[in-house]
């Protein structure tokens, strides 16, 4: 099959030992791809390309089961990776593969697809209209786990010759490898969602406590001061002045908490969102913003934005700085965000507070790290580092800097 590929029924001229070595080499490359690539869909596409190359065939496609929580098609199959589809299978955005069912899916749903098999009469190929590239027969291979199949790998080449038994045995081993990788990827996604949900609940509880401990207490004190002003003419002026100061402090605290509750608008990217954050704070202190445009996954961008929010909030509330520096930059294999201030520093209580602990968990969920360190001669630095699998995503664009007063200043030089 496939004109020279060792997957053909015709006896391959390649000695059996060399054939096995090639199979092992391909399986090793597939394992390497699955271990290096964080996104399973991209890993699956690369694995499919390796298989097609090894077997010397033309076409492959994969169906994967639905496993997203709340999916109405839980347990159904979705068209996923593909390579070398002929025009008839590409027509209408591959409608003939995306819609309806077929023999291999029937076997899948009834638990009868437990190894690689030849589908000699494929209902999808028969129903397809137009140029089919000579495809008539294909092999269907289950993506297997201990719990059962989670997908179907289909491979085909022009002609009616089926895959031989040895090749189907090898493909069954490949299907087990892909199935285990699929389950591992979905488990990691579920764990990430659970950690993020827990971090969100803890963040809400922390903000509620801060609302009670700061704003409510300040307003209570202001109320007492106003009562004194109402009852004592001698202390009225002092009490009113004190009440105004307390209300002003409460408003400042409330603004900070509202800022933390503000949803991250990342529709235009992380850099514009950080620019808006810096602009909102610029009326209180001088903010210096330095950034390169980076293409980041949404979870990474949101995590870094929350780190910036928390860093600015802590600086304004606890350190009373004159300057805050926000810097976003690509580092080797990842991205780094620093929030730095020249205030009086933060206490150990803040360093181990729920806000930073929650952000540590969110950053760790992305495979990164978060730390707060002292800054000389004064102030603090909150730094988050997150690795990225695709290093090209951290390539900077020519645009740098941001809006607002003092933007782009060097924290070691610009202190005016």
C-alpha atoms less than 13 angstroms from C-alpha of 98 in its C-beta half-sphere: 8
Q: Is the pTM of this model over 0.85?
A: no
Confidence at residue 110, expressed as pLDDT on a 0 to 100 scale:
83
Render pLDDT for 272-308 as a digit per residue (tens, 0 to 9).
Answer: 888 888 887 766 678 888 888 788 888 898 889 889 8
Does pLDDT of 309 surpass 80? yes
* pLDDT greater than 50 at residue 372: yes
Query: Domains in the chain, ordered, with CATH?
Result: 16-189 (3.30.450.40), 267-416 (3.30.565.10)
Distance CA 193, CA 387 (A): 18
* Structure confidence by residue, pLDDT tens digits, 326-357: 999 987 788 999 999 988 876 655 555 566 77
Lowest mean pLDDT among 36-45, 183-192, 215-224, 290-299: 215-224
- The Cα–Cα gap between 65 and 144 comes to 12
Residue 363, exposed/middle/buried by CB under 10 A (0-12, 13-18, 19+)? buried
CB 294 within 8 A of CB 396: yes
pLDDT of residue 140: 92
Residue 396 Cα distances to 197, 334, 340, angstroms: 32, 12, 22
- Determine the pLDDT at residue 141: 92
* Contact indicator for 195, 365 with CB cutoff of 8 Å: yes
Give the sign of the dihedral formed by CA 54, CA 145, CA 32, CA 331: positive
Q: How does residue 144 score in pLDDT terms, banded at 50, 70 and 90?
A: confident
């Amino acid at each position: 099959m496939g004109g020279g590929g060792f997957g053909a029924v015709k006896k391959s001229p390649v000695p059996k030992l060399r054939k096995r070595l090639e199979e092992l080499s391909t399986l090793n490359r597939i394992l390497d791809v699955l271990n290096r690539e964080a996104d399973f869909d991209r890993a699956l596409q690369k694995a499919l390309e390796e298989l097609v190359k090894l077997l010397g065939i033309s076409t492959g496609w994969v169906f994967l089961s639905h496993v997203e929580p709340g999916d109405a098609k839980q347990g159904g199959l979705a068209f996923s990776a593909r390579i070398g589809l002929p025009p008839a299978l590409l027509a209408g955005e591959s409608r003939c593969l995306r819609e309806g069912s077929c023999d291999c899916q029937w076997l899948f749903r009834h638990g009868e697809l437990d190894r690689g098999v030849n589908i000699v009469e494929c209902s999808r190929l028969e129903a397809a209209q137009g140029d089919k590239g000579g495809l008539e027969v294909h092999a269907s291979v289950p993506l297997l786990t201990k719990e059962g199949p989670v997908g179907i790998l289909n491979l085909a080449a022009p002609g009616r010759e089926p895959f031989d038994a040895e090749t189907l045995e090898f493909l069954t081993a490949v299907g087990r490898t892909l199935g285990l990788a699929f389950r591992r990827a979905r488990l990691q996604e579920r764990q990430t969602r659970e950690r993020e949900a827990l971090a969100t609940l803890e963040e809400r509880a922390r903000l509620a406590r801060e609302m009670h401990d700061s704003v409510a207490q300040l307003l209570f004190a202001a109320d007492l001061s106003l009562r004194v002003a109402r009852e004592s003419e001698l202390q009225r002026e002092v009490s009113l002045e004190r009440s105004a100061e307390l209300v002003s402090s409460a408003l400042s605290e409330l603004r900070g908490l509202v800022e933390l509750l503000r949803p991250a608008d990342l529709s235009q990217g992380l850099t514009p969102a950080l620019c808006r954050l810096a602009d909102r704070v610029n009326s209180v202190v001088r903010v210096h913003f330095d950034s390169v445009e980076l293409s980041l996954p949404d979870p990474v961008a949101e995590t870094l934005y929350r780190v910036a929010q928390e860093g600015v909030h802590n600086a304004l509330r606890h350190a009373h700085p004159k300057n805050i520096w926000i810097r976003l930059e690509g580092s080797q294999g990842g991205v780094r965000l620093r929030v730095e201030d020249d205030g009086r520093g933060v206490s150990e209580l803040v360093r181990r507070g729920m806000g930073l602990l929650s952000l540590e968990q969110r950053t760790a969920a992305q495979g990164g790290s978060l730390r707060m360190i002292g800054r000389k001669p004064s102030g603090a630095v909150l730094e988050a580092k997150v690795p990225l699998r695709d290093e090209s995503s951290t390539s900077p664009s020519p645009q740098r800097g941001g809006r607002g007063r003092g933007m782009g200043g060097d924290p070691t030089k610009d202190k005016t």
